[in-house]
Amino acid sequence: MRVLVVEDEPDLLRTIAQVLREDGYAVDEAADGQEGLYKATSWNYDAIVLDLLMPKLTGWQVLEKLRTTHKTPVLILTARDGINDRVRGLDGGADDYLAKPFHLVELKARLRALIRRSLGLASSQIDVGELTVDTTAKTVTRGETLLQLTPREFSLLELLALHRGKVVTRTQIYEKLFDESDDSLSNLVDVHVSNLRRKLGKDFITTRRGQGYILHD
């Protein structure tokens, strides 16, 4: 999953981005509203974490402009916790609202819920044949066996599981797994697919030459 964090407080921006990356997300960063709007409308994110009080463009302005073209789930962060501000944010197109100061564990939980709802998932578990992918616990089991995956391997499997039975292109994989700070070498996808096949079994993932990969039931 790839998310955008738009926050003008450098320490908070750095902390949120680091915590989300440790949780397996690809994270892009923006330090003001203008940069945030540019990135939010230039790439397809699974969710956006958006501060309200920022230079150049406020969070309100970013949200208003974003909603003319994109339905990306938005979680607002702000120190303004009055009822009128919450109502304004939700009526303006935000999907959730988290007041500062907040606990990072709650931020991650709300972000997971936002993404899950946007994908139409009623549960955090995705069953694919013998595999169970738990998007909350970040675990994968095959039958009764817990598989040991790296965060990047889990993210790739999660993406394939969400589109099981359908081709996921290499472009889609790069866009969802690698953020702007990654040095995306051309063979990284092949390496991660190879590692997944070794851990899951070679029959789970099929390569469609010139197209991408399919995860089968």
Helix runs in 5-103, H state only: 10-22, 33-42, 59-66, 83-91
Q: Are strands 2-6 and 47-51 parallel, antiparallel or unpaired?
A: parallel
What whole-number distance in Å separates Cα of residue 194 and Cα of residue 25? 21
Split at pLDDT 50, 70, 90, the class of 121 is confident
In the chain, CATH 3.40.50.2300 sits at 2-119
- Structure tokens of 15? 């902390």
Least confident of 68-77, 107-116, 135-144: 135-144
> What's the topology of domain 125-215?
Arc Repressor Mutant, subunit A (1.10.10)
The hierarchical CATH code for the domain 2-119 is 3.40.50.2300
pLDDT tens, position by position, 156-191: 999 999 888 899 998 888 888 888 877 655 677 888
Q: What are phi and psi of 27, to 5 degrees?
A: -125, 125
Residue in 46, 47, 48, 65 with CA at minimum distance from that of residue 57: 65
- Structure tokens of 21? 């990356």
pLDDT tens, position by position, 189-216: 888 889 999 998 878 898 988 889 999 8
Q: Residue 114's pLDDT is what?
A: 93
- Structure tokens of 147? 């598989």
Looking at the DSSP bridge assignments, the partners of residue 147 are: 140
pLDDT tens, position by position, 123-161: 888 988 888 999 888 899 988 899 999 988 999 999 999
What whole-number distance in Å separates Cα of residue 141 and Cα of residue 122? 19
In the chain, CATH 1.10.10.10 sits at 125-215
Helix runs in the chain, H state only: 10-22, 33-42, 59-66, 83-91, 104-118, 151-162, 170-177, 188-200
**Long-range Cβ pairs for the range 146-149 (8 Å, 24+):** 147/199, 147/200, 148/199, 149/196, 149/199
Looking at the DSSP bridge assignments, the partners of residue 130 are: none
What whole-number distance in Å separates Cα of residue 88 and Cα of residue 94? 9
